[in-house]
Amino acid sequence: MRHASWQELLASPAPASHVVQIVDNDDFLASGVALFAAEGLQRGEAVILTGTEAHLRALRRELLAKNVDYDAAVRRGQLSVNEVQRCLEGILYHGMPDAAAYDAMVGAALAKARAAYSAVRWWGESGSFLHLHGNAKAAVALEELRGAAARKHGVGILCSFLCDRFDPRSYDGILRDVCSVHTHVIPADDYVRYRLAVNRAIAEILGEIKGPLLQSLLSWKGLACDLPSSQALLFWIRETLPDQFHSVLARVKAYA
Amino acid sequence: MHDATPSNLTDCGLPGIRSIPYGVHMCHFYSGRDELAAVLVPYFAAGLRNRERCIWIAAEPLDAAAATLALAQAGVDVDAALAGGALILRDFSDWYGEGESLRGAAVVDFWLAEETRALADGYAGIRISGNISFLTPATWSVFMEYEDTVQKAFSGRRIVTLCTYPSERCGAANVLDVVHRHSCTIEHPDQGWQILTRLGA
């Protein structure tokens, strides 16, 4: 629960970090990924983008708007662009990602990028793509492989994941699972607004965090990832105060 | 036989909490002036008894003048402590300016220098408290960075720190921010005081 803003986090992701951006609209996806990519290009890093054709087109527009010479970056091999479905076809085996095939694919892409650039950052939405196509199990498995690749190769990886953070069911399933396999979670576009909404909802439903509530919060194990306090609190309430969770989440949605 | 090695423990001063280790960085959420005085007056009185240099950064609702009075009413010879240098009691504006000056490293260096000075003057260590009632949403994240730096830098030093936050101005997310940047939280559930520690802290 350390990063103060997603802009700071995406501008200079730590080596081996595996960040997930929870998105519910394409604009947030494009602005976050474009910042991640533009900063990498500007710092002389290689950038790999793996997304849907629609998102890759939107990213091209965003990068051009940021005065990135997109075509020149592609020509000199600093920017590599890949269509997600084609990439997945090479690594899925009976609907699940094959670790060896994935490793080989990542190794080849990184070797190519590192031929001319010492640092690499990689954006992808393959997990989200699988989830959207009804394969949540493969989505989480693939995110685990991406996390392992980030650690093994010391690259900063950003994933965008389409998910409704106001859907209470996701806190028992895909949202919790996806957050758990990343090092950092970006849960919302506007952290300040989200924080105010969470604070207000909790104050109205639960009251002040003191006494037994404070004790409960302190003894909560939490998720093993860096996520803003606002989002961490929602996971805490889901786990420790399930009877009040739906009311709190509904109010957060109304206020956010 | 006299043991020349100074103890790593010191008296907290709060009923129910006996000893605390040097290097501890505690936080407390208070409601109102009386509750703030109820934690800080015994905390500093114990520090003075333990021959620690006590540095109280006061702020509303208990400013330096009110803090001086509260200590005197508790039987502390405030004039002697101030004159002898055992107690330094000032309003926060003397220590922290606007947001920029809250940036961690320089302030932490200042505290470490204070520790060195206090030890050279024959004190057992320093005891600090800051009442963090002056923060705004705009300065919150900068101050949390400072708390992070303090948490790392004070570990193992002859420094005891208690940061007090007004609970009415701390939403749940603020509470979580604060408790994750301190060694422990002290609470006053009923008669006595207790220390709450984070799982894994």
ipTM, two decimals: 0.87
Where helices occur in A43-98 by DSSP H, the ranges are: 53-65, 70-75, 84-89
Residue B102 confidence (pLDDT): 55
Inform me whether the pLDDT recorded for A235 exceeds 80.
Answer: yes
Range(s) of the domain holding residue A83: 13-186
Amino acid at B40: L
Nearest to A178 by CA among A125, A215, A228, A221: A125
Residues A48 and A112 in one domain: yes
Residue B103 confidence (pLDDT): 63
Residues A176 and A234 in one domain: no
Nearest to A91 by CA among A108, A112, A77: A108
Residue A194 confidence (pLDDT): 96
Amino acid at B136: T
Give the alpha-carbon dihedral of B10, B14, B18, B19, to 10 degrees.
Answer: -20
Residue A169 confidence (pLDDT): 96
Residue A120 confidence (pLDDT): 97
- Both tokens assigned to A213: 């509530």
- Judging contacts by C-beta atoms under 8 Å, the chain B residues touching residue A238 are none
Of A186, A214, A233, the one marking the end of a domain is A186
d(CA A62, CA A46): 18
Q: Give tens-digit pLDDT for A129-158.
A: 999 999 999 999 999 999 999 999 999 999
Q: Residue A101, class by beta-carbon neighbours within 10 Å (0-12 exposed, 13-18 middle, 19+ buried)?
A: middle
* Per-residue buried b or exposed e for B146-158, using 16+ beta carbons within 10 Å of the residue's own CB: bbebbeebbeebb
pTM: 0.91
A5 in any annotated domain: no
Which helix (DSSP H) or strand (DSSP E) does residue A184 occupy? Answer: strand A184-186
Number of domains forming the structure of chain A: 2
A7 in any annotated domain: no
Hey, of B140, B143, B175, B190, which one would you mutate to test binding to chain A, going by the most A CBs within 10 A of its CB? B175
Residue A30 confidence (pLDDT): 97
CA distance, residue B152 to nearest chain A CA (Å)? 14
- For chain B, 201 residues long, give each residue's pLDDT as a single digit of tens: 455 677 899 999 999 998 999 999 999 999 999 999 999 999 999 999 999 999 999 999 999 999 999 999 999 999 999 999 999 999 988 776 544 455 667 888 989 999 999 999 999 999 999 998 888 888 888 889 889 999 999 999 999 999 999 999 899 999 999 999 999 999 987 778 999 987 666
Residues A242 and A181 in one domain: no
Residues A29 and A85 in one domain: yes
A6 in any annotated domain: no
The CATH number that applies at residue A143 is 3.40.50.300
Residues A37 and A121 in one domain: yes
State whether A217 and B200 contact (CB < 8 Å).
no
**Mean local confidence (pLDDT), A190-196:** 94
d(CA B5, CA B8): 9
Residue A126 confidence (pLDDT): 97
Which helix (DSSP H) or strand (DSSP E) does residue B91 occupy? Answer: strand B87-91
- Inter-residue contact A209 to A217 (CB < 8 Å): yes
Residue B190 confidence (pLDDT): 76
- Judging contacts by C-beta atoms under 8 Å, the chain A residues touching residue B174 are 199, 229
Residues A48 and A78 in one domain: yes
A29 in any annotated domain: yes
* CB-closest option in B148, B173, B200 to A229: B173
Q: Could you tell me which residues of chain A have a Cβ less than 8 Å from any Cβ in chain B?
A: 1-2, 4-5, 192, 195-196, 198-200, 202-203, 206, 208-211, 214-215, 217-222, 228-230, 232-233
**Mean local confidence (pLDDT), A202-228:** 93
How far is CA B59 from its chain centroid? 13
Residue A9 confidence (pLDDT): 96
Residues A182 and A225 in one domain: no
Of A142, A167, A186, the one marking the end of a domain is A186
Residue B99 confidence (pLDDT): 46
A8 in any annotated domain: no
A90 in any annotated domain: yes
Residue B100 confidence (pLDDT): 47
* CB-closest option in A5, A200, A218 to B196: A218
Residues A25 and A146 in one domain: yes
Which helix (DSSP H) or strand (DSSP E) does residue A143 occupy? Answer: helix A136-153
- Judging contacts by C-beta atoms under 8 Å, the chain B residues touching residue A210 are 29, 167, 187
Of A186, A218, A235, the one marking the end of a domain is A186
Task: Kindly identify which residue of chain A lies nearest to residue B28, measuring between CA atoms.
Answer: A210
Residue A253: count of CB within 10 angstroms of its CB: 15
A2 in any annotated domain: no
Would the CA dihedral through A179, A202, B165, B187 be positive or negative? Answer: negative
CA A51-A25-A55 angle, to 5 degrees, is: 20
* CB-closest option in B167, B177, B196 to A229: B177
Average of per-residue pLDDT values in chain A: 96
Inform me whether the pLDDT recorded for A112 exceeds 90.
Answer: yes
**Start-to-end C-alpha separation, chain A:** 20
Residues A168 and A79 in one domain: yes
Residues A33 and A82 in one domain: yes
**Mean local confidence (pLDDT), A81-96:** 96
CA distance, residue B162 to nearest chain A CA (Å)? 17
CA distance, residue A90 to nearest chain B CA (Å)? 41
A4 in any annotated domain: no
Residues A200 and A182 in one domain: no
Residues A54 and A137 in one domain: yes
Task: Kindly identify which residue of chain A lies nearest to residue B190, measuring between CA atoms.
Answer: A211
